[in-house]
Structure 1
């Protein structure tokens, strides 16, 4: 509320390892972004979105904001 953020939806991939980019919740998140439903993803920590090697991390089509890691918030 302090940052005037509207929550468009919640996405999760319970039971899938975070290093995989082929997860149903992540696929839905990317699809919803590409359809224009939002342009920023809010995560608790960056590794909640992807836990693979940083140098091969996907190029996300959205901006990422992390609640617990504001120093790592990235522009797309």
Structure 2
């Protein structure tokens, strides 16, 4: 193999490395964005669950208070 051919092959290998590096970087950025979106969605789901539990507890407390008030009213 001649020097010119070897130099051309060496340049081609170097170019392939650069392109692969850019592809890896692009894939990494894409994966990180998707992970960030997933974490955001999971956080929203968790906060909605907590809100639902708080609302349920508040409703049950009000229902219990109304029930207790109704039973004491009937005793008068």
TM bracket (short chain): under 0.3
Higher helix share: 2
Say which structure, 1 or 2, has more relative contact order (CA 8 Å, 6+ apart): 1
Higher strand share: 1
Q: Normalising to structure 1: TM-score of the pair?
A: 0.22
Q: Normalising to structure 2: TM-score of the pair?
A: 0.22
